[in-house]
Chains A and B, each alone.
Chain A
Amino acid sequence: MTEPRSPVEPQRKTITHRITIGLLWAVLTPLLILPIVAIFVFAGRGGWDSFYQTLKLPEAQFALRMSLWIALCTSLANAIVGTFSAYVLSKHRFAGRGPLSILVNLPVAIPTVVMGTSLILLWGPIGLLGRYLVPLGFAPVFAPFGVFLAHVLVTFPYMLGAVKPVLDELEITYEEAAYTMGAGRFRTFVYVILPALKGGLFSGTLLTFAHSLGEFGATAMVSGNLRLKTQTAPLFIFAQFEAGQIETANAVAAVLAVLSFSIFLFLLRFTRRPSREGP
């Protein structure tokens, strides 16, 4: 075996050790590794050409483009709204702050399908607000804007979770130091707070992007799964699969997997870097 030597106990290659490692592989291979392999195997079954042809389908192209756009907009929107919320929740004391801090994290706890339903019940034609707004021409449900709203809602806690701890750690004296030196609130935010938030903001944005790219439950509810109108990549994959077009589904799935994986690798590299820089 060409096993790398463990830094702790290099000599221990006992039988129990080998069994433990073997067991780990035995468990993880069918659970994690083979499913990913399967996607690429099926996607590439018809050869490179058919894979390429599949991706050239207008529906597939639309779905991928839609997913990327939505993910991009969601990330940007959450970067702004999430940072603002984190700042207010972290630096201001106000009535209802405690309950609100819990509430903003709810979207992670509640199933995304339920979140999607809640959006329909709010903005839909019979919804709380929708019944007044839809006749006026504002109908976000079953439209790209609704998908965007759903994604912002579902991914909001990830942004907050990445940014708020940094702000909590950042003592108020940093801002106050800037104030005494003549910087107003805006310049203090730009020059003092934002640079300190850079790391949290970046990983928060990437997390949001990745989650948005793969979002299914809420999207399925809110979008209505309309081809060439609101269908995102995950919905497209599901629809193709149901229709028996397994190879088409797998081609898009492979692209999605590669995209997500790249983001993940990038994130991993980025979050590791500060620890090497020292304090």
Chain B
Amino acid sequence: MSIVLDHVSKRFGPHVALDEVSLEVADGELFVLLGGSGSGKSTALRIIAGLTRPDEGRIFLQGGRVDHLPPQKRGVGFVFQNYSLFQHMTVEGNIEFGMRIHGVAQAERVRRREELLNLIGLEGMAASVPGRLSGGQQQRVAVARALAYQPSVLLMDEPFGALDVRTRSQLRKSLKEIQRKLKVTTILVTHDQEEAFELADRIGILDRGHLVEVGPPALLYRRPKTELVARFLGDANLLMGEIRSGNLHVGEAVLSLPSDAPRVKGSMEVKVLIRPEDLEVRPRGASADGKGLGLGKILETLNAGPVLRMRVGVPSLRGIPILSPEPVFGQAEPVLMAHAPPETGDIHVLVPGAAVQLGVRSLHVIPHEGVTLLVCLDGSDLSRQALEFGARVASQMHGRLEIMGVAEKPNEETRAREGLSAAAQAYSTQFPSLKTRFRAGNAGERILEELDRGEHEMVVVGYRGRHGPGRSMGSTVEKLLVLSRVPVLIVPETRRALKKLLICMASGITGRADVIFAGRLAARAGAEATLLHVMQAESPGPPGTAASNAQTAEYLRQLTTDRLARGILTLRLMGVQADMKVRHGQLQAEILDEARSGDCDLIALGALEPPRMKGGYRRAVIDTVLEQAHCPVLIVTAPPGEEA
């Protein structure tokens, strides 16, 4: 093994850049680290080169441990995104720099330099200054410079990031050739999937500091082990299905299981991955090759060169949770994506509005582990209550539970640890996969760090409002409301079970994210939902504008009705039994009153932007509801980019 990373972690302040990443890269391999921005991919590369020090973990290059060595002693070649060619030196000066430092004799230097210039196709450019070269040429020189002193490994940080598409694809080819010829072990970091697929012998997918999956490109694409990779690479149709007596059931459709699917006795819930190109779309009545998924209608087509992209509505999948493509607010029927090669001859038949039948050419099954809830336990009664309710919800959703004990002050630690072990005992039979861990420090910070691992869908804490008794976790809730990436379930008072949800589309602002998340929760838990809208009491306008005021009110009323109807559609699409209610009056009071009179078990509130720490109208609503609610409250913050 040329490069070995063993449980390498790095954090920058509170931000976890890399979390226990372990990786082995074989001799001569071209390994691509693929991830979005902030996934930690560049940090990983810099740690291997010695430019950044890891907090924990070991690094081996060619069998020798190097994590204590400075970059000068590691013998790696590094290509930076901005090339970082020395502007005051010529091309040959740049290429020879490393060799001069290493004391290579002149004859050898010249020989190697010429060889490399030849390899990168820049013979005769030796005397040029980097400033006069094109971006592509500079990039080649940067590669030659990094290879000149024969480093044991080559590390490239987004080497094609600053180039135009054409140059990029040319350079990819030549890089692959050079790498093959020299057989130098290479790690390349990129966010570009196409680049990764074209170059890589193996790809490693990094997400928020976690190395999620490693494998050859085709395998990662066709048979991912995790939902994250399935969704991250290319387009995916991802739906819930069930393996029953050797067959795969997706709604009413029965599909054949691939040979690598898990063998189960009885039944098992799974996620079904159907790549758009594996979803066969045929005019109704025509014979299909694949197993049938049902009838549908083409909603939209997009001719994208080599493929025809389609969005197909499939009413028969109603009630089946579709994880990808994610349902859009107000969507009336389930939608899948399909790609068809245009040469099938069906191109004039596959038009929007066409009735089609769907077949599945090939599919992949990913084990479904259920939603994971993180419950925070600090030893107080309130947090025990939160655990109780959290466990109930988790079991109702067939999900998993993770309990985190936390104590800030040393004298609280015993109590918190005792509470944690008691909880572990109490719930380990109900949740065989129960995870518990203890963290010392500020509860809010520790929870946020834990959530950063990206393994949880919801966090559960106990809290009784700012003025309520026993206001432990007050600052924690503040932090979570502002910074949590996942919805926060706050439990001021527990309920026996989750049977009815009150979803508030209050204050005239859509909460798409909250309706969709709460709907998913209701669907998984088999609960019903009420969609509530509160019309605020109008203040009387200035005299003389009564007519326009009435017009505005009418317009708002219509907007609301329309929005509620779309909300109901969305919920029913997920298989949730839902009704709607419109109330008039003060927002907080009406929400609380409806929750009480409707005997709801959970209030879901959307917050389009993170609620501000203090003050602000929406924040006042949340505070009042938290203080006076008789049941748990779920706060869903819209992901950034979601508009009103």
Cβ–Cβ contact B131 & A173, under 8 A: no
Chain B CB within 8 A of A96 CB: no
Cβ–Cβ contact B101 & A187, under 8 A: yes
In the complex, what distance in Å separates the CA atom of A19 from the CA atom of B607? 67
Chain B CB within 8 A of A279 CB: yes
Chain A CB within 8 A of B88 CB: yes
* A180 / chain B contacts, CB cutoff of 8 Å: 49-51, 71-72, 74, 76-78, 146
With A171-B82, A176-B80, A184-B72: A196-B88 Cβ-Cβ less than 8 Å: yes
| Contacting residue for B132 out of A173, A196, A278, CB 8 A | A278
* B70 / chain A contacts, CB cutoff of 8 Å: 179
CB distance from B145 to the nearest CB of A (A): 8
Closest-by-CB residue of A relative to B73 is A182
Chain B CB within 8 A of A12 CB: no
Chain B CB within 8 A of A76 CB: no
| Contacting residue for A176 out of B77, B84, B102, B145, CB 8 A | B84
In the complex, what distance in Å separates the CA atom of A177 from the CA atom of B86? 9
In the complex, what distance in Å separates the CA atom of A25 from the CA atom of B98? 58
Closest-by-CB residue of A relative to B88 is A195
Cβ–Cβ contact A278 & B131, under 8 A: yes
Binary contact readout A148-179 vs B (1 if CB under 8 angstroms, 0 otherwise): 00000000000000000000000101101111
Cβ–Cβ contact A179 & B88, under 8 A: no
Cβ–Cβ contact A173 & B86, under 8 A: no
Interface size of B by Cβ–Cβ distance < 8 Å?
27
CB distance from A168 to the nearest CB of B (A): 15
CB distance from B281 to the nearest CB of A (A): 49
Chain B CB within 8 A of A191 CB: yes
Chain B CB within 8 A of A198 CB: yes
Cβ–Cβ contact B97 & A191, under 8 A: yes
Cβ–Cβ contact B71 & A176, under 8 A: yes
CB distance from B293 to the nearest CB of A (A): 51
Cβ–Cβ contact A195 & B86, under 8 A: yes
Chain A CB within 8 A of B62 CB: no
Chain A CB within 8 A of B389 CB: no
Binary contact readout A181-220 vs B (1 if CB under 8 angstroms, 0 otherwise): 1111001000110011010000000000000000000000
With A173-B80, A176-B51, A176-B71: A182-B101 Cβ-Cβ less than 8 Å: yes
In the complex, what distance in Å separates the CA atom of A195 from the CA atom of B89? 9
Cβ–Cβ contact B131 & A279, under 8 A: yes
With A176-B71, A179-B72, A182-B98: A192-B49 Cβ-Cβ less than 8 Å: no
| Contacting residue for A177 out of B50, B74, B78, B132, CB 8 A | B78
Cβ–Cβ contact B80 & A177, under 8 A: yes
Chain A CB within 8 A of B149 CB: yes
Closest-by-CB residue of B relative to A192 is B86
Cβ–Cβ contact B84 & A182, under 8 A: no
Closest-by-CB residue of B relative to A187 is B101
CB distance from A200 to the nearest CB of B (A): 13
CB distance from A243 to the nearest CB of B (A): 52
In the complex, what distance in Å separates the CA atom of A182 from the CA atom of B102? 7
Cβ–Cβ contact B86 & A182, under 8 A: no
Which residues of B84-116 have CB atoms within 8 Å of chain A's CB atoms? 84, 86-89, 97-98, 101-102
* B149 / chain A contacts, CB cutoff of 8 Å: 181-182
Closest-by-CB residue of A relative to B151 is A180
Closest-by-CB residue of B relative to A177 is B84
Cβ–Cβ contact A179 & B51, under 8 A: yes
* B86 / chain A contacts, CB cutoff of 8 Å: 174, 177, 191-192, 195-196
Which residues of B122-159 have CB atoms within 8 Å of chain A's CB atoms? 131-132, 145-146, 149
Cβ–Cβ contact B72 & A182, under 8 A: yes
* A176 / chain B contacts, CB cutoff of 8 Å: 49, 51, 71, 78, 80, 84
CB distance from B135 to the nearest CB of A (A): 12
Binary contact readout A126-164 vs B (1 if CB under 8 angstroms, 0 otherwise): 000000000000000000000000000000000000000
CB distance from B33 to the nearest CB of A (A): 18
Binary contact readout B2-35 vs A (1 if CB under 8 angstroms, 0 otherwise): 0000000000000000000000000000000000
In the complex, what distance in Å separates the CA atom of A187 from the CA atom of B80? 20
Closest-by-CB residue of B relative to A176 is B51
* A178 / chain B contacts, CB cutoff of 8 Å: 97
CB distance from A69 to the nearest CB of B (A): 32
| Contacting residue for A173 out of B77, B82, B146, CB 8 A | B82
Most chain A Cβ neighbours within 10 Å, of B98, B145, B146, B149: B98
| Contacting residue for A171 out of B76, B77, B84, B102, CB 8 A | B84
Cβ–Cβ contact A183 & B72, under 8 A: yes
* A181 / chain B contacts, CB cutoff of 8 Å: 77, 97-98, 101, 145-146, 149
In the complex, what distance in Å separates the CA atom of A213 from the CA atom of B70? 46
CB distance from A182 to the nearest CB of B (A): 4
CB distance from B557 to the nearest CB of A (A): 55
In the complex, what distance in Å separates the CA atom of A226 from the CA atom of B75? 61
In the complex, what distance in Å separates the CA atom of A178 from the CA atom of B97? 8
Cβ–Cβ contact A173 & B72, under 8 A: no
* B146 / chain A contacts, CB cutoff of 8 Å: 180-181
* B89 / chain A contacts, CB cutoff of 8 Å: 195
Cβ–Cβ contact B101 & A173, under 8 A: no
Closest-by-CB residue of A relative to B142 is A177
CB distance from A101 to the nearest CB of B (A): 23
CB distance from B468 to the nearest CB of A (A): 41
CB distance from A216 to the nearest CB of B (A): 38
* B77 / chain A contacts, CB cutoff of 8 Å: 180-181
CB distance from B336 to the nearest CB of A (A): 45
Closest-by-CB residue of A relative to B80 is A173
CB distance from B150 to the nearest CB of A (A): 11
Closest-by-CB residue of B relative to A184 is B72
In the complex, what distance in Å separates the CA atom of A133 from the CA atom of B577? 90
In the complex, what distance in Å separates the CA atom of A178 from the CA atom of B82? 14
* B101 / chain A contacts, CB cutoff of 8 Å: 181-183, 187
Closest-by-CB residue of B relative to A198 is B88
Most chain A Cβ neighbours within 10 Å, of B74, B84, B102: B84
Which residues of A244-262 have CB atoms within 8 Å of chain B's CB atoms? none
Binary contact readout B29-49 vs A (1 if CB under 8 angstroms, 0 otherwise): 000000000000000000001
* A191 / chain B contacts, CB cutoff of 8 Å: 86, 97
* B102 / chain A contacts, CB cutoff of 8 Å: 182
* B74 / chain A contacts, CB cutoff of 8 Å: 180
Which residues of B274-330 have CB atoms within 8 Å of chain A's CB atoms? none
* A182 / chain B contacts, CB cutoff of 8 Å: 72, 75, 98, 101-102, 149
* A196 / chain B contacts, CB cutoff of 8 Å: 86-88
* A187 / chain B contacts, CB cutoff of 8 Å: 101
* A177 / chain B contacts, CB cutoff of 8 Å: 78, 80, 84, 86, 145
* B75 / chain A contacts, CB cutoff of 8 Å: 182
In the complex, what distance in Å separates the CA atom of A195 from the CA atom of B87? 9
In the complex, what distance in Å separates the CA atom of A5 from the CA atom of B146? 53
| Supplied contacts A171-B82, A180-B71, 15 more A-B pairs, CB within 8 Å | A171-B84, A176-B80, A177-B78, A177-B80, A177-B84, A178-B97, A181-B97, A181-B145, A182-B75, A182-B98, A182-B102, A191-B86, A196-B88, A198-B88, A278-B131
Taking Cβ atoms with an 8 Å cutoff, the residues of A that contact B are 171, 173-174, 176-184, 187, 191-192, 195-196, 198, 278-279
Q: Could you write out 9 A-B pairs with CB less than 8 Å apart?
A: A173-B80, A173-B82, A173-B84, A176-B51, A177-B80, A177-B145, A187-B101, A196-B86, A279-B131
Instruction: Please list the 4 inter-chain residue pairs (A to B) with the smallest Cβ-Cβ separation, ordered nearest first.
Output: A181-B98, A195-B88, A180-B78, A173-B84
